[in-house]
Amino acid sequence: MNSNATDTLPPVPVLRRTIGPFQLTLYALGSMLGSGIYGLIGQAAGISGNAVWLSFLVALVAALLTALSYASLGSRYPHAGGAAYVVQRAFRLPFVSFAVGLAVAGSSLLSVATQSRVFAANLAELVGAHDHIPWIALGFVLVLGSVVLRGIREAMWVNVLCTLVEAGGLLLVIGFGAKYWGAISYFEFSAEEAEGGLALVILQGAVLTFFAYIGFEDSINVAEECRDPQRTVPLGLVTAMVLSALLYVAVAITAVSVVPSRELAEAPGPLTLVMARAAPWLPPAVFTVITLFAVANTALVNYVTASRLLYGMARQQLLPARLGAVHERRRTPHVAIGLIFLLLAPLSLLGSVGELAAATVLLLLSVFAVVNIALVVLKVRAGEPRGAFEVPAAVPLAGAIVCAALVLVRVIAGHWVATALAGAMLGLIVLAFLAWRTSSSDHR
């Protein structure tokens, strides 16, 4: 398979370049904020106690290794295929590229399906429509698809609005809870959590809080729609990581200052509990509305990611060429967007897909490891282009080791169902690849 196949395809119509550094920063930030902090803070506090803020900092260092690799790759190769493109370019093995692309696309699809149910449940609670949750979820997916189909500019501005709202929710927590700062020791933890001392507790918490940073990888999939992507992608991605870390650490300090870590760990809505203590006069519906924006933002980003992945893989001849079609007026991959809706519609009606979501986390970490290794290969290969943002080979190498270690930790920790499902999903990808190769051979 020719890794430069995209160069031979007709250049018109193409995706429209409208994304600047500000929009890409909020795009990546919104994906990260919506995927972790609102739910993870309680679980993390149960592990790390008052030192949970340190776990977020350690997790930042671990996640930043892979984020810097993605920033470098986005600067070198600003193509919509994202991970699938760089893996194909590095290894020139269609199956590996096919597996990586579908693993990421699959994780995005399952994320959107999960978020559609969460959105529907929260909206039903707000308006009293509990009997209509499946149809609310389906309508939510339809609206998302319409926004993504209309254009990347429109999708980005919806993302900007949602990101500002969900970041505003975290700033509300910090603002109302800041008066409690200094009331406790921020290095205390429950002795029953670990016998290895503070360092072990922080590392155990970091394994969990690492997932609050997942979402940064979505930015590389819109590189082809960025203005000056060689500079916009690394600037937007790294800025988003730094801003998310500042918010996470401040929220973590605030949360354990207002609510004891043990109680925080047992709360179904940890930040809602924090606000109930810090600002009891604030109506609970306010945080429900903020949650709706956060969930919608995560789903929107993942819908865009999945559509650009399918488009990019089609342009690499890893999927049917029809999926690489671009709408002449909207300049969006309309066929890929339509296919995603057809796949999401039944998924959004199925209910909980929690175990499938956990399985995709394992696949994503595996993808991160492969992408990091791909960057090492591309850095040492002669003739490869260099971007405006480069990192030493030690960065992607360390990132691959960290991601592989996290996969091992999750498997050893007893995530057997998720591990089995991840294996089954990989098996389905193998079958899909074989079917695609057979179909391609028949049409030659």
User: What is the distance in angstroms between the CA of the first residue and the CA of the last residue of the chain?
Assistant: 14
Helix (H) or strand (E) holding 212: none
pLDDT score at 8: 45
Half-sphere exposure of 22 (CA within 13 A, CB side): 6
Q: How far is CA 105 from CA 40, 172, 312, in A?
A: 23, 34, 11
Which 8-state DSSP code applies to residue 382? T
The whole-model pTM stands at 0.85
CA nearest neighbour of 258 among 57, 205, 267: 267
Phi, then psi, of 19 in degrees rounded to 5: -90, 125
Q: Write down all domains in the chain, each with its CATH number in brackets.
A: 19-438 (1.20.1740.10)
Q: d(Cα 15, Cα 17) in Å, to the nearest integer?
A: 7
Is residue 97 a contact partner of residue 84, using CB atoms and an 8 Å limit?
yes
Question: What pLDDT score was predicted for residue 6?
Answer: 43
Question: From CA 241, how far away is CA 417, in angstroms rounded?
Answer: 31
Q: By the 8 A CB rule, do 71 and 230 touch? A: no
CB 75 within 8 A of CB 232: no
Angle separating helix axes 284-315 and 334-349, nearest 10 degrees: 130
pLDDT for 441 equals 65
What pLDDT is stored for residue 415 in this prediction?
Answer: 63
Average pLDDT, 10 consecutive residues per value, the chain (444 residues): 46 78 92 73 86 92 93 89 88 89 85 84 83 88 94 91 92 94 84 61 83 86 90 94 94 94 85 90 86 89 91 86 89 92 82 63 88 95 90 95 87 73 80 78 59
H helix or E strand, kind and range, residue 265: helix 261-266
200-204 long-range contacts (CB < 8 A, ≥24 apart) are: 201/47, 201/48, 201/49, 201/51, 202/48, 202/51, 202/54, 202/55, 202/58, 203/55, 203/58, 204/47, 204/48, 204/55
Tokens of 98: 């096919």
Phi, psi of 16 (to 5 degrees): -90, 130
What pLDDT is stored for residue 63 in this prediction?
A: 92
Instruction: Give the burial class of 256: count Cβ atoms within 10 A of its Cβ; 0-12 exposed, 13-18 middle, 19 or more buried.
Output: buried
How far apart are alpha carbons 137 and 122 in whole angstroms? 11
pLDDT at 357: 64
User: What is the distance, to the nearest Å, from the Cα of residue 311 to the centroid of all Cα atoms in its chain?
Assistant: 19
CB 148 within 8 A of CB 332: yes
